[in-house]
């Protein structure tokens, strides 16, 4: 199901698609944050990533509650926006050798 396709006919369809999109994005962030924390050399930055990871875990749990409330199984729909953000961050990080600059 893609945004603005024939598969989205009702507000409920749109809501479910957006919910799946956010669910997918949060899972991608869950994968990225531990790697970011591992690369961080600044203690405050590392702590910030770890805090964000815990918050994101809570957000995923809340999204799963929403899926349950509407009688749907939690499922993600590919979110090109978050994939692009993470890809760009990884590319930039790969180009920076100085850990202070990377932080």
Give residue limits of the domains in the chain: 11-102
Give dist(CA 12, CA 15) in Å, integer. Answer: 5
Question: What are the residues whose beta carbons fall under 8 Å from the beta carbon of 30, sequence distance 6 or more?
Answer: 53, 56, 57, 60
| pLDDT tens column, 59-83 | 999 999 999 999 999 999 988 999 9
Question: Which tokens go with 14?
Answer: 């749109």
Does 5 score more than 80 pLDDT? no
| pLDDT tens column, 27-51 | 999 999 999 999 899 999 999 999 9
Q: According to the CATH classification, is domain 11-102 in 1.20.1260.10?
A: yes
Q: What count of Cα atoms within 13 Å lies in the side-chain half-sphere of residue 13?
A: 10
């Amino acid at each position: 199901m893609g945004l603005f396709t024939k598969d989205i006919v009702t507000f409920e369809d749109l809501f479910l698609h957006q919910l799946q999109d956010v669910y997918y994005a949060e899972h991608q962030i869950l994968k990225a944050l531990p790697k970011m924390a591992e690369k961080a050399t600044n203690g405050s930055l590392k702590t910030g990533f770890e805090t964000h990871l815990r918050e994101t875990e809570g957000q995923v749990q809340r999204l799963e509650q929403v899926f349950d409330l509407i009688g749907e199984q939690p499922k993600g729909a590919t979110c090109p926006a978050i994939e692009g953000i993470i890809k760009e961050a990884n590319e930039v990080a790969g180009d920076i050798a100085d850990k202070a600059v990377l932080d």
